[in-house]
Amino acid sequence: MHNTTTRHCSSALGRLCLGVLTALLTTGGVWAADVQAPTATRFQVVKADKEHIELLRRGGLVVYMRHGATDARFPDQIPVKLDHCANQRPLTDAGRAQLDQIGSFVRSIRVPYTTVISSPFCRAQESAERVFGKPIEVDLMLRYTATMPASEKKPAVARTRHWLSEKVAEAGTNRVVVAHGPNIAELMDYLPPEATLVIFRPLGSAAEPSFEYIASIEAKHWPELLMQLGAP
């Protein structure tokens, strides 16, 4: 499990950026062979199963959810106005419907949580409310890192690490964080798809590593997981 900020093309974000760069250079007249293709990720996604849900039911873990499916035709307008949702990349109608369904799945598997922390971006807050309900705690420092210069993203990356690492204070419950995929990719070699729930074990902010990846529930994983659990 990687727990350091990755800034090279071996990271999930690096490969994504390199892929975009390759496409741009190719359309501009540079042969694709002149640009090194992105390498395959070494990260292995663990599909959450019945045992992982039992761990969640005992509490003490962190569920980090990437917001639901968005419409890339309407990117965030820079500088982002956090109080103006019309200037931010929105959820799609299909994404909202999927989040509502995931919310019913989460309720059916009876995972205890008391704190729901959200990025200040509208797509994250709406995702948090649709899946986990109110109230949510908006953390203004938990911002979307992908469009930030390195100097500005450091506090957001540090805040993401904090919520993954800080141990859950209340016994028998879990912490929920709803934010952005690139924030996770800054900390490990993994860019979770939209609407994915990622399960972590916090090891303490002073520990090294300070968190442990356990498993993921991608949107496409829910039918199999529910079948294992015998959930309605």
pLDDT at residue 36, rounded to an integer:
38
Question: 196, 98 in Cβ contact below 8 A?
Answer: no
How would you list the strands of the sheet with 62-66, edge to edge?
Answer: 137-138, 113-118, 174-179, 62-66, 197-202, 211-217
Name the pTM for this structure: 0.82
pLDDT in tens, 27-68: 343 332 333 344 455 899 999 999 999 999 999 999 999 999
Q: How far apart are CA 99 and CA 88, in angstroms?
A: 18
pLDDT at residue 231, rounded to an integer:
78
Residues in the chain: 232
Q: Is the pLDDT of residue 4 over 60?
A: no
Look at residue 55 and give its three-state secondary structure. helix
Q: Is the pLDDT of residue 135 over 60?
A: yes
pLDDT at residue 41, rounded to an integer:
59
φ, ψ of residue 125 to 5 degrees: the values are -60, -45
Q: Is the pLDDT of residue 120 over 90?
A: yes
pLDDT at residue 180, rounded to an integer:
97
Which of 1-10, 19-28, 37-46, 175-184 is the most confident on average? 175-184
The mean per-residue pLDDT over the stretch 106-110 comes to 96
DSSP state of 206: T
Element (H, E) at 114: strand 113-118
Of 39 and 231, the structure prediction assigns the larger pLDDT to: 231
Q: Find the distance separating the first CA and the last CA of the chain, reported in whole Å.
A: 34
pLDDT at residue 204, rounded to an integer:
97
pLDDT at residue 151, rounded to an integer:
82
> For strand 197-202 and strand 62-66, is the pairing parallel, antiparallel, or unpaired?
antiparallel
Element (H, E) at 95: helix 93-108
Q: How far apart are CA 170 and CA 60, in angstroms?
A: 8
What are the chain's domains? Answer: 43-229 (3.40.50.1240)
- How far is CA 206 from each of CA 166, 181, 210, 211, 212, rounded to the nearest angstrom? 9, 24, 7, 10, 14
Which range among 52-61, 88-97, 141-150, 152-161 shows the weakest confidence by mean pLDDT?
A: 141-150
Query: What is the residue-averaged pLDDT of the chain?
Result: 86
The mean per-residue pLDDT over the stretch 154-171 comes to 96
Q: Is the pLDDT of residue 2 over 50?
A: no
φ, ψ of residue 212 to 5 degrees: the values are -130, 125
